[in-house]
Amino acid sequence: MQNSFEKRAATETRLMTAREAAKYLNISERTLWALSDVGDLPRVQIGRAVRYDAADLEAFINSNK
């Protein structure tokens, strides 16, 4: 059964800044960068901007339960 976030994530891609993604995961931005650097959390690079896909954040949460 999908929650409302998963339903929305399935129909639209929501890219978040590092600050938004860290807040969503309730971790520091430094921890977010560390997870990205080792490949545990995918990131989207658009030019110099780095963004995080909401669906990837949700998958990360589910894989670490």
Confidence at residue 8, expressed as pLDDT on a 0 to 100 scale: 60
Per-residue DSSP letters for 1-64? ---HHHHHHHHS--EE-HHHHHHHHTS-HHHHHHHHHTTSS--EEETTEEEEEHHHHHHHHHHT
Which overall architecture, per CATH, does domain 4-63 show?
Answer: Orthogonal Bundle (1.10)
Confidence at residue 19, expressed as pLDDT on a 0 to 100 scale: 97
**Rg from Cα positions in the chain:** 12
Cβ atoms of 9 and 43 within 8 Å: the answer is no
pLDDT tens digits, one per residue of 4-45: 666 665 556 789 999 999 999 999 999 999 999 999 999 999
Q: What is the pTM of this model?
A: 0.77
Confidence at residue 59, expressed as pLDDT on a 0 to 100 scale: 95
Mean pLDDT of 57-62: 96
